[in-house]
Amino acid sequence: MKYICPLITVSDIKRSHDFYEILLDQKVKYDFGENVTFEGDFAIHLRSHFQSLIDNKEIRTGGNNFELYFEYDDVEQMVKKLKENKISFVHDVREQPWRQKVVRFYDPDENIIEIGESLEYLSFRLSKEGLSVEQISATSNMPVEFVKLSIKKYSS
């Protein structure tokens, strides 16, 4: 058996397609009309069509029990873009206990979307703040070698 991707149902396929493609800059891999798969290997499916495939069982939205996770190193810049587009937030930018900056917000169907800076960028940012490799490793729980390679990658 091979796992392929998560699939979320959406009430308006065009609106959600535009949200992910235009606002979040995701590239379409396959577009089957009522089902669209993006290159990040997640899919959106028109709720009414999907519901017919599951014998018209109820589909609930907005349960805050699922999220799609993306990485983007300039989280604050993305928040500005989201606010300009009047997106509803779960919360504004915050640091997780391991210091990674993240923001969570809702897509048009109230699915939670999280955008966090990559752990590589986190290592670089913390080094710019004056933390040693060992301090970064202890704070983030990332191996020292990963931290060193990450700092090197962004310093080049």
Residue 49's domain is classified under what CATH number? 3.10.180.10
Nearest Cα to Cα of residue 90 among 71, 68, 73: 68
Q: Is residue 113 part of a domain?
A: no
Last residue of a domain, one of 42, 57, 72: 57
Instruction: Flag whether 73 is in a domain.
Output: no
pLDDT, tens digit, 9 for 90 and up, residues 125-151: 999 999 999 999 999 999 999 999 999
Total residue length of the chain: 156
Q: What pLDDT score was predicted for residue 156? A: 80
Report how far residue 119's alpha carbon sits from residue 117's, in angstroms, rounded to the nearest whole number: 6
Q: What letter represents residue 141's amino acid? A: N
Q: Per the structure, how many domains does the chain have?
A: 2
Asked if residue 63 is part of any domain, the answer here is no
pLDDT tens digits, one per residue of 69-123: 999 999 999 999 999 999 999 999 999 999 999 999 999 999 999 999 999 999 9
What pLDDT is stored for residue 13 in this prediction?
A: 98
At 10-65, the pLDDT tens digits run 999 999 999 999 999 999 999 999 999 999 999 999 999 999 999 999 998 888 88
3 state DSSP class of 135: helix
Residue 82 lies in a domain: no
Q: Are 39 and 27 in contact (CB under 8 A)?
A: yes
Structure-token pair, residue 51: 């519901």
Is the pLDDT score of 68 beyond 90? Answer: yes
Query: What pLDDT sits at residue 18?
Result: 97
Q: Is residue 87 part of a domain?
A: no
pTM equals 0.91
DSSP label at residue 65: -
User: Which residues contact residue 79 at a Cβ distance below 8 angstroms, ignoring those fewer than 6 apart?
Assistant: 92, 93, 103
Q: End of a domain among 15, 34, 57?
A: 57
Smallest Cα–Cα separation from 26: which of 123, 107, 104, 141? Answer: 107
Q: What is the pLDDT of residue 62?
A: 83
Q: How far lies 125's CA from each of 80, 82, 98, in Å? A: 20, 23, 13
Domain membership flag for residue 10: yes
Give the model's pLDDT for residue 87: 97
User: What is the extent of the structural domain holding 139?
Assistant: 120-155
Domain boundary among 19, 40, 57: 57
